[in-house]
Amino acid sequence: MLVAICIPRADIPKVSSWLDLLLDLDKMIHAAMFGVLAFLAMYPFNNKDIPLAQQKKIFLRIAIFTSCWGYVTECIQLFIPGRSYDLVDWTADSIGVVIAFICYRWYIDYKNSTL
């Protein structure tokens, strides 16, 4: 993921379509990448040996750390030619993390209610 974020913007092909008019695809990609990262980081802690309350605390810490990692990647881009720091990208990263956190909590609550 860090490699993808560090590719100079001039080397990224521009795709223009009707979808660009409806959605900001770049921000959706940011949200999806960081949402998947957070989800994959949470997955190993979905364990019967870890109490549910402790799991939720771990998931919250992972969400915060992943959001911070999004900010760090934006700061790294300050030093890459053709890339720039964009607070809106970090916001999209964080939105993806929050969505992953909420979905995973729903999944855990659902799984525990069906046992």
pLDDT, tens digit (0-9, with 9 covering 90-100), for 81-97: 888 888 999 999 999 99
CB 41 within 8 A of CB 70: no
CB 74 within 8 A of CB 6: no
- What are the C-alpha distances in Å from 111 to residues 47, 67, 81, 105? 11, 26, 47, 10
Q: Which residue has the tokens 């959001």?
A: 67
pTM of the model: 0.80
CA-CA distance, 84 to 93, in Å (whole number)? 15
Q: Tell me which residues of the chain have a pLDDT lower than 50.
A: 11, 21
- Radius of gyration, CA atoms only, the chain: 17
Question: For position 40, what pLDDT does the model report?
Answer: 95
Question: For position 87, what pLDDT does the model report?
Answer: 93
Question: For position 62, what pLDDT does the model report?
Answer: 96
Question: For position 114, what pLDDT does the model report?
Answer: 72
